[in-house]
Structure 1
Amino acid sequence: MSSEVKKERVQMDPKYIITLTVTLLITCVVVAGLLGGVNAITEEKIAAINWENTVAAMKAVVADPEGTEFSDALELTGDMTAAAEGAGATLDSVYEVLVGGENAGYAIKVVASGSQGSIEMMVGVDGEGAVTGVSIVSHSETSGIGTKVMGNEATASGVGVLDQFQGKSAADGTLAVGSNVDAITGATVSTRGVTTGVNAALAVAGAMG
Structure 2
Amino acid sequence: MSLVCAYITEHFIIISGDHRRVHIKDNEVFFDDAHKVFSINDRVIIGYTGDYDISKKLREHLEKRGLNDASPNEVARQCRRWLQRRSKVDTQQRLLIAGLDDKGKPVIIELTHDSGYDPVIVTVEPGRMDWRLVFANTCPEPFIEEELAKIDVLSPEACAELAKTVNERVAAVDSDVSPACDVGVLIVGA
TM-score past 0.5 threshold: no
Structure that is richer in helix per residue: 1
Larger Rg: 1
Highest RCO, 1 vs 2 (Cα 8 Å, sep ≥ 6):
2
